[in-house]
Amino acid sequence: MVFRALLLLALVPLTALGATISYEFDIGTTQVNITGIAVEALSIDGQIPAPTLRAAVGNTLRVTFNNHLAVTTSVHWHGILLPADQDGVPFLNTEPIAPGGSHTFEFPILHSGTFWYHSHTDLQIQRGLYGAIVLADGNEITTQDEVVLFSDWTEEDPNTVLENLKKSDDFYAWKKDKVQSWDRVIANGSRSIRKRIDSAWTRMGPMDLTDVGYDAFLVNGKPINALALDDSAATQMKLRLINGSTSSYYDVEYAGGPMTLLAADGQNIEPIRVKRLRISTAETYDVMVPLSSGLAYELRATAIDGTGYSSLFVGDGQRVSAPDVPPPNLFLMDHMGMSSMDMDMDMSMDSGTSRNMDMNAGHRSQPANNPVTTTDH
Residue 213 phi/psi, 5-degree rounding, is -95, 105
What are 163-205's pLDDT values in tens digits? 998 988 778 877 877 777 666 667 777 776 677 777 777 766 6
- CB contact burial 218-242 (16+ within 10 A = b; e otherwise): bbbbebebbbebeeeeeebbbbbbb
Q: Is 56 exposed, middle or buried (0-12, 13-18, 19+ CB in 10 A)?
A: middle
Q: What is the pLDDT of residue 331?
A: 61
Q: Is 101 exposed, middle or buried (0-12, 13-18, 19+ CB in 10 A)?
A: middle
Least confident interval from 72-81, 110-119, 202-211: 202-211
Q: What is the pLDDT of residue 367?
A: 34
Edge to edge, the sheet with strand 102-108 lists: 38-44, 20-33, 60-67, 102-108
Which residue has better confidence, 14 or 60?
A: 60
Which residue has better confidence, 193 or 320?
A: 320
- Give the closest residue to 306 by CA, choosing from 285, 327, 291: 327
Quote the percentage of the chain above a pLDDT of 90.
67
Where do the domains of the chain lie, and which CATH numbers do they carry?
Answer: 2-138 (2.60.40.420), 140-377 (2.60.40.420)
What are 262-272's pLDDT values in tens digits? 999 999 999 99
Q: What is the pLDDT of residue 334?
A: 62
Question: What is d(CA 130, CA 112) in angstroms, rounded to the nearest whole number?
Answer: 19
Cα first-last separation, the chain: 45
- Give the closest residue to 155 by CA, choosing from 174, 178, 179, 175: 175
Average pLDDT score over residue span 126-140: 94
pLDDT > 90? residue 6: no
Q: Report the predicted TM-score, pTM, of the whole model to 2 decimal places.
A: 0.83
- Give the closest residue to 304 by CA, choosing from 166, 189, 209: 209
Question: What is d(CA 316, CA 289) in angstroms, rounded to the nearest whole number?
Answer: 14
